[in-house]
């Protein structure tokens, strides 16, 4: 079995690896690191959780150990689809380069331009960025990419899903043609293949697992959910979610709960907190400081349940996630693989549970077709009904209609209404008049006084008095 000390890495990098507690590279690392150290382009294809980040971080640090960066001209560039993934790459760089005098800058949204400009002006060896913020700095004239020697594109298929491919192509055009390119992705869509054919030169292809496959250490299951009324379905589904968490008990030490929409992320997190569960939300609309605080709490164990959109499905390394729960079946089958890949990492066991409503059955079939196996069906821990929904009922909803009474009204012939026995009929009330007589009597005075339309018997006396005075005048 290959060891890290057999891969021709810098001795100071090897020392940092040893201090981090690693001895044996993963298959993607074993295949990608030697080719990258030789200066060749690399196309790495591996499922999430296999150590792709170290596959480019370790050789990049070794190659950059010699040399010095110039102001506003980074020597290497790492592109990531999300702020969280970019921050994680920066943490890996700090871990493995701590014995070398290399500098880095992290360019992500939600952080002051001024602080980032100050780092770039001093010169950085490694620039880690999201595509949008990188182009913002370039268009402001604060950054030059003509000195890039190594360019890394991480989670390329996620870049495609998020619409970053035009930005990626533009960034490629701003870098030197002689650069070395390391390209990593979990799947190879046709658009990704077109980019690799255009911008990579005779790459070494390292594919360590069949595309879009889930780790064998992950136990998968799906709960088929059929709600009642449409306006109560979401509430019933949240009730099923809570029952699943309760059913796992102590085995669920922590979990990531994925929703398809940001609004559902917020609603689901608030519902869980309402019922006493330790939960918090994370999605793209939150401030970066809040996102960082939430992730740090989940990593250190102070937060048990993380309710997330797909922003957290790619690249986030939280090794000890025990469960992943898909509150919604993802619209793209590939996202299912990335979501459940948050558990069962680094050889650990994990469990992934999906809640599938009737409208999501086609999406579930697409997932099973992609992973080429049927996901086992699990028993619904509860029978979702209105009585267990987590939204309060209105007075009208809480009272069931008296069907027997309504049926009796339909079946029995209508008879003349009899006066109630508990009160006597009013003696001063005259027999009902037909519409024609009513029309003739409007506005006329009779023995009972002026007829007032629309005011009823509760007409105040002072209003009637004003009518009498007006007629007298």
pTM: 0.65
* Per-residue pLDDT at 443: 47
**Distance of alpha carbon 243 from alpha carbon 224, whole angstroms:** 14
Residue-level pLDDT at 199: 93
The predicted pLDDT at position 112 comes to: 85
pLDDT given for residue 172 in this prediction: 95
Q: Residue 316: which residues within 8 A CB-CB, separation 6 or more? A: 84, 85, 88, 295, 342
Q: What is the 3-state secondary structure (H, E, C) of 225-248?
A: ECCCCHHHHHHHHHHHHHHHHHHH
Pick from 92, 82, 252: nearest CA to 154: 82
Which pLDDT does position 410 carry in this prediction? 45
Residue-level pLDDT at 391: 47
Q: Which two tokens stand for residue 123?
A: 């010169």
Q: Name the nearest CA neighbour of 127 among 138, 140, 114.
A: 138
Contact status, residue 252 vs residue 322, Cβ threshold 8 Å: yes
pLDDT (tens digit, 0 to 9) for every residue of the chain, 473 residues total?
688 989 999 999 999 999 998 889 989 999 999 999 999 999 998 876 678 899 999 999 999 998 888 888 999 999 998 888 898 899 999 999 999 999 999 999 878 888 899 989 989 999 999 999 999 999 999 999 999 999 999 988 888 878 888 999 999 999 999 999 999 987 788 888 999 999 999 999 998 865 566 777 889 999 998 877 778 888 999 999 999 999 999 999 999 999 999 899 999 999 999 999 999 998 878 887 888 889 889 988 899 999 998 876 565 667 789 999 999 999 888 888 888 888 887 667 899 999 999 899 999 999 999 888 999 999 998 864 444 444 444 444 434 444 444 444 444 444 445 555 555 555 555 555 554 444 444 444 445 555 555 555 565 666 666 555 555 55
Contact between 189 and 115 (Cβ < 8 Å): no
Distance CA 344, CA 271 (A): 27
Domains delineated in the chain: 4-207 (3.40.50.300), 218-391 (3.40.50.300)
Strand 445-446 and strand 449-450: pairing? antiparallel
Q: What is the pLDDT of residue 455?
A: 53
Contacts for 283 with CB less than 8 Å, ≥ 6 apart? 262, 265, 266, 308, 309, 311
Instruction: Kindly state the tokens that stand for 79.
Output: 């592109």
Q: Measure CA 269 to chain center.
A: 12
CA distance 367 to 356: 12
CB 238 within 8 A of CB 369: no
Phi, psi of 409 (to 5 degrees): -65, -35
| pLDDT value of position 431 | 53
Strand 323-326 with 377-378, pairing: unpaired
Let me know: does 4 contact 14? Beta carbons within 8 Å. Answer: yes
């Amino acid at each position: 079995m290959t060891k890290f000390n057999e891969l021709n890495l810098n001795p100071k990098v090897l020392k940092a690896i040893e201090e981090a507690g690693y001895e044996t590279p993963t298959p993607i690392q074993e295949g990608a690191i030697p080719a990258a150290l030789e200066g060749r382009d690399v196309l790495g294809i591996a499922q999430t959780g296999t150590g792709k980040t170290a596959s480019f971080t370790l050789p990049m640090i070794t190659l950059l150990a010699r040399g010095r960066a110039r102001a506003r001209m980074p020597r290497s560039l790492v592109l990531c689809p999300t702020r969280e993934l970019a921050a994680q790459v920066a943490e890996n760089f700090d871990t493995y380069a701590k014995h070398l005098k290399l500098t880095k800058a992290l360019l992500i949204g939600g952080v002051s331009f001024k602080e980032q400009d100050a780092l770039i002006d001093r010169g950085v060896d490694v620039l880690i960025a999201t595509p949008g913020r990188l182009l913002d700095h370039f268009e402001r004239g604060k950054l030059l990419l003509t000195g890039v020697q190594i360019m890394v594109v991480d989670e390329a298929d996620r870049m495609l899903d998020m619409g970053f491919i035009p930005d990626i192509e533009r960034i490629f055009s701003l870098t030197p043609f002689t650069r070395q390119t390391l390209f990593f992705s979990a799947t190879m869509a046709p658009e990704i293949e077109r980019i690799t054919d255009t911008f990579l030169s005779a790459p070494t292809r390292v594919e360590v697992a069949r595309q879009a496959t889930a780790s064998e250490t992950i136990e998968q299951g799906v709960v088929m959910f059929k709600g009642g009324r449409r306006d109560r379905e979401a509430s019933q589904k949240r009730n099923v979610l809570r029952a699943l968490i309760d059913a796992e008990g102590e085995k669920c030490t922590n979990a990531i709960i994925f929703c398809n929409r940001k609004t559902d992320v917020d609603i689901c997190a608030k519902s869980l907190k309402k019922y006493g569960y330790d939960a918090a939300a994370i999605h793209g609309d939150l401030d970066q400081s809040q996102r960082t605080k939430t992730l740090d709490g989940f990593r250190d164990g102070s937060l048990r349940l993380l309710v997330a959109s797909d922003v957290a499905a790619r690249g986030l390394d939280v090794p000890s996630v025990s469960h992943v729960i898909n509150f919604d079946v993802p619209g793209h089958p590939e996202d299912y693989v990335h979501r459940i890949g948050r558990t069962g990492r680094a050889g650990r066991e994990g469990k992934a549970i999906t809640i599938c409503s009737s409208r999501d059955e086609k999406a579930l079939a697409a997932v099973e077709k992609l992973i080429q196996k049927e996901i086992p069906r699990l028993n619904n821990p509860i029978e979702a009904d209105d009585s267990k929904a987590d939204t309060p009922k209105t007075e009208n909803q809480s009272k069931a209609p008296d069907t027997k009474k309504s049926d009796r009204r339909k079946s029995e012939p209508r008879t003349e209404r009899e006066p109630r026995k508990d009160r006597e009929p009013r003696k001063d009330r005259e027999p009902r008049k037909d519409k024609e007589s009513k029309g003739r009597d409007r506005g006329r005075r009779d023995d009972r006084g002026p007829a007032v339309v629309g005011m009823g018997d509760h007409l105040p006396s002072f209003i009637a008095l004003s009518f009498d005075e007006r007629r007298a005048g």
